[in-house]
Amino acid sequence: MDLQLRDKIIIVTGGAKGIGEGITKVLAAEGAIPVIVGRSAEDNNNVIKEVEERGGKAFQVEAELTKPEECEKVITTIVEQFGRIEGLVNNAGVNDGIGLEKGSYEGFIASMHRNVVHYYLLAHFALPQLIKSRGSIVNITSKTAETGQGNTSAYAAANGARNGLTREWAVELLKYRIRVNAIVVAESWTPQYETWIQTLSNPEEKLKEITSKIPFENRMTTPEEIANMAAFLLSEKSSHTTGQIIHVDGGYVHLDRALANA
């Protein structure tokens, strides 16, 4: 299917790693020009090199998104380079383990900046360009907002906010014909996930236990599968879809666990 994304300028935060990297590569394969936003120019450029080797195009902006002024710089840089923005994928964040019992005010607020404040700021600063292009916003969120996880109060709260902002922006931006949707991720194999599981005493057993509970095919969702949904939501092929919180998770959140090994 031709998603008609050719030459569209689409921001992908955290676009050099994990799910963000998957989104960058799928968008480039569709002919779009993804703009990777991340704190490491080296990582960003490594992905750009891979994209270019496959015949695609990409651009990057090095930025620390926990700093509001850097969020504004991202948008200014992109507009100076291209003069337009057609899409925004808010993806950057980290499950940072700021819990309730052993957490702190400082840790909680810092996590908000790592995980949701920049979602708002990038959308805010990009909005004039998105209004001109009638662009689309996709927010990547996590199951933790709905299921809880334990010892990750801040991340769960940030993802609840991501879901809430998705619906709120969809309402506010109706008049501009800007569509806003979210993709909820449950268990997806990324470098961050691999690092986490290796901290456990029995990583292989734990991984087997987790995948056994994923109803569809007893496997993790791939970054590419999430990326395919993101590309669809950014395209005009989803022209009457807005305000939706879509789970790309092999049925992990909503299907009966009894089905997992059926």
How far apart (Å, rounded) are the C-alpha atoms in residues 95 and 84? 32
**Given 119, 120, 155, 176, the catalytic residue:** 155
- The CA-atom distances, in angstroms, between 211 and each of 143, 166, 222, 248, 257 are 15, 29, 12, 15, 11
State how far the Cα of 2 lies from the Cα of 230, in Å rounded to an integer. Answer: 14
**What is the phi/psi pair of residue 217, to 5°?**
65, 10
Q: What is the DSSP string of 42-111?
A: HHHHHHHHHHHHTT---EEEE--TTSHHHHHHHHHHHHHHHS---EEEE---------SSS--HHHHHHH
| 155 belongs to the catalytic site | yes
- CA dist 56 and 98 (Å) reads 39
Element at 141 (helix H, strand E): strand 136-142
Q: Which of 89, 21, 10 has its CA nearest to residue 51? A: 21
Q: In this structure, what token pair is assigned to residue 212?
A: 């056994």
Task: Report the distance separating Cα 183 and Cα 229, nearest Å.
Answer: 8
Can you tell me the distance from the alpha carbon of 12 to that of 148, in angstroms, rounded to the nearest whole number? 26
Active site residues: 155
